[in-house]
Amino acid sequence: MLYPRVSLYALMLAAAGIPLYIHLPRFAAVNLGIGLGVIGTVLLLIRIVDLVQDPLIGWAIDRWPRAQLMFAITAAIGLAIGFPMLFGLPQGASIAVLVSVLVLLFSAYSLGTILLYGRSATLAKQADAKELMTLAAWREGGQLTGVILAASAPALFVAFGASAQGYPAFGLFLGLLSIFTLILTIPIWRRTPITGQGLSFAGLGQAGALRLLFLALVNSLPVAITSTLFLFFVEDRLQLPGKAGPLLILFFLSAGASVPLWAKLSNRIGPKQTLMIAMPLSIAGFIGAATLSAGNLTGFAVICLTSGAALGADMVVLPAMFSVVLTRAGLNASAAFGIWSFAGKLGLALAAFFTLPLLERSGFTPGQTNSAEALRTLNLAYAVLPCILKLGAFGLVLTLPTEVSAK
């Protein structure tokens, strides 16, 4: 039951991440009446907290390895308290209250995520490259299940009569899920921790980890932008009201179904070669999205299938590559994954900070009739800019040494 429990903990974290990264901008704009520019600024300010916090969380997990159960409990309880508070906020709630709740949630989410990824060697049946890739497949499979659950839950609650677009009921559901997961996953945090040497930039550089960190940051930007703008693109640019939820589920179902295939392929031909196959799928998806006409549900569904499959490779291969180079170099993984976590969330913050004010200046208003210029700006922000960034990430993959491998 080791890997299924790991998968369940990953499910909880992913179910928490989707509301923070996909539902939050629209919830704050529509339910709370907060401007898009303000939302983008708030998310960037929280990333400044993460700049200090995430590496410190990783350091603390490595400094007190025997306290991993306490860290897991703290993360789950933080999520259990924070989500009912967030989605229970009334219209006109102050920015200060919103920021306080978001800091609690992002802190709990960071703690759980860094603990889960930083303890890869501990949670794997054996601390070798092949087993780390197997662990990654279980972990990311759980994550994608959690994503699908979180993406569909608000619509399901609305279908059963929930008010306020289903968000208050969604908050309570996430809180209960966190408690349930904590109870079932306690055994995995009682395993004897495997630790390594202290971190330094020189050590990370010699291991090849700094190169992977930079790749992770660049590669996170396209998906960060599309995550932030997905609901706006489907509802307003493609004019497909009520279809965002099913399309999001399709996207993540495709990603989840692809994870075992990418993991097997990576063990067979190597992670670099696997990414060289997967990334062009993502690039093709962005090009296709940019050229879609309004109402083209079938075309965007196909794009969700292909780009979702490409995301599956990113999710399973890159973290496993990072774990492998850290384990081979005998370095502490939690502190390193603290930096890794911050790199990913910095991408999300930059996406919100630059794209949301840009849309606001173009005159874009969610859920309203928008000008051709506003919709063109949304199209450029959602599809064209991420395509350029993904091309940059693909170029970085081409420069990776072949020996950075999980074979």
Residues in the chain with pLDDT values less than 50 = 405-407
Q: How far apart are CA 12 and CA 143, in angstroms?
A: 8
Residues 248-285 pLDDT 10s: 889 988 988 898 899 889 888 989 999 999 999 999 99
Residues 55-99 pLDDT 10s: 889 889 888 988 999 999 999 999 999 999 999 888 888 888 989
What pLDDT, on the 0 to 100 scale, is given for residue 249? 84
- Which domains occur in the chain, in start order? 2-398 (1.20.1250.20)
* The one-letter amino acid at 282: S
Q: What is the dihedral of CA 9, 11, 17, 19, to 10 degrees?
A: -130
What pLDDT, on the 0 to 100 scale, is given for residue 406? 43
What pLDDT, on the 0 to 100 scale, is given for residue 207? 66
Q: How far apart are CA 281 and CA 306, in angstroms?
A: 6
Question: In the chain, what is the straight-line distance between the N-terminal and C-terminal CA atoms, in Å?
Answer: 25
